[in-house]
A = this chain, B = another copy of it.
Amino acid sequence: FISQMNFDQEGNVTSFEKKKTELFQELSLQARDLRFQHSTSLIARNNCIILRMESLKAIVTPHSLLVLDFRGLGLEHWLVLELAPQLASQSHSLPFEFRALDAILQHKVNTLRARLNVVEPAMLDTLESLVDPKILSADRSKLHVLLQNSKSLSELETDIKVFKETLLKILDEDEIIEELCLTKWTDPRVFEESSLGIDHAEEMELLLDNYYMQAEELGNKTRELKGLIDDSESVIFINLDSHRNVMMRLSLQLSMGSFSLSLFGLIGVAFGMNLESSFEEDARIFWLVTGFMFLGSGMIWRRLLSFLGRHLEPSVAPLYFKLLLCHLWFWSWMPWQHWN
């Protein structure tokens, strides 16, 4: 048994359960035609249009629209409140199958657009907070959101691609477009009436082309969004690397300070040894050595910092380096020559 909802061109809606085989016989279709094996399909069979758009399975006949298996898909609201009036409206001078196809394809494109509208702002928000140059380390919950949205975006991209390919396949073959114009083959009277100055097949092509181009626009948006993610990731990496370099320079500057203190502290340690240095009794010596320790380490540090400043500007470094070596001639045996 299969649940189905029936919309006729006056906007009447009836829903009932029917045996699958009965349905086949009624529409003269074969079992194979209603297997709906692909997530998106749109074919004409025996004066019916059989289509599936993800969860929505429908059969369009010249006079009615049948939606199959409609329960539990969250489509009830749309079916009753939007689809029925849309099918009944006479603004369209074209036959019923056009109105039905138009309504369903519009629903599909709207669904795709709605998904993009959910993913896009979430993505932009996340990216904006991740590329913020002030942050030292990426917020991990944001990364999780990014990954989730990235996955949704990929799935959306695939669905748009599949939808576009389904339409393109039809647009590429004029025969299929002809077949989709049901009224032309089944109802000569209505056909002639409606076709004053209008070529049904051309109208059908326009209708499909319209939704194809809307899907194309959505596809372009997702592509742009993917590009933005890539660019943002590069910026995030540059940011994190920059922070690291800044911290590394600070750390190096501190290391230079600590080194200077150690170097001159060694003098203090030397005088702290229980060994006789013959200076013990002179009170000025204490202040002299203490002052030398502090001033000396300060000056060496200053020298090291300015060395660092120049070292990181590659073009000047070699020259400066020689000057530094000359200045420091008095410990020529020291390790400086390995410095570079």
How many chain A residues touch B (CB < 8 A): the figure is 113
One of A11-19, A80-88, A236-244, A321-329 at the interface: A236-244
- The complex is assembled from copies of this chain, and their number is 5
Report which of B154, B246, B255, B276 forms a contact with A311, defined as CB distance below 8 A: B246
Residues A335 and B301 in contact in the complex (CB < 8 Å), given A262-B265, A269-B272, A274-B271: yes
A319 contacts B by Cβ under 8 Å: no
A298 CA to B335 CA in the complex, in Å? 7
Among A113-121, A184-192, A279-287, the stretch that binds chain B is A279-287
Nearest residue (CB) in B for A305 is B338
Report which of B250, B255, B262 forms a contact with A308, defined as CB distance below 8 A. Answer: B250
Could you tell me the distance between the alpha carbons of A277 and B276 in the complex, rounded to whole angstroms?
A: 12
Contact assessment for A255 and B246 in the assembled complex, using a CB-CB cutoff below 8 Å: no
Q: Which residue on chain B has the smallest CB distance to residue A310?
A: B338
Q: Contacts A133-B144, A273-B271 known; A298 to B259 CB distance under 8 Å?
A: no
- CA A274 – CA B274 in complex, angstroms? 7
Residues 313-339 of A at the B interface (beta carbon under 8 Å): 313-314, 331, 333-335, 338-339
Q: How far is it, in angstroms, between the C-alpha of A247 and the C-alpha of B308 when the chains are bound? A: 9
Q: A129 contacts the other chain (Cβ, under 8 Å)?
A: no
| Residue numbers in B under 8 Å from A256 (CB-CB) | 254
Contact with B along A142-186 (1 / 0, CB 8 A): 011011001100110010011000000000000000000000000
Could you tell me the distance between the alpha carbons of A32 and B102 in the complex, rounded to whole angstroms? Answer: 13
Is A261's CB within 8 Å of the partner chain B?
yes
Q: How far is the CA of A34 from the CA of B245 in the complex (A)?
A: 57
A286 and B280 contact, CB distance less than 8 A: no
Q: Please measure, in the bound complex, the distance between the C-alpha atom of A297 and the C-alpha atom of B265, giving whole angstroms.
A: 13
Q: Are B278 and A246 in contact (CB under 8 A)?
A: no
- A77 within 8 Å of B (CB atoms): no
B270 x A270 contact (CB < 8 A) = no
A252 engages B247 (CB within 8 Å): yes
Which of these, B224, B237, B289, contacts A241 with CB under 8 Å?
B237
Find out whether the CB atom of B245 lies under 8 angstroms from the CB atom of A243: yes
Q: Give the complex CA separation of A110 and B161 in angstroms.
A: 23
Question: A247-B248, A312-B243, A339-B305 are known contacts. Are A238 and B275 too (CB-CB below 8 A)?
Answer: no
Question: Which of A1-9, A55-63, A68-76, A209-217 lies at the interface?
Answer: A209-217
Return the chain B residue nearest A37 by Cβ: B210
Q: Could you list 17 A-B pairs, sorted by A, with CB under 8 Å?
A: A41-B213, A133-B141, A136-B245, A136-B246, A136-B312, A138-B242, A147-B231, A247-B248, A247-B252, A251-B255, A253-B335, A254-B256, A266-B268, A266-B297, A271-B275, A277-B287, A305-B339
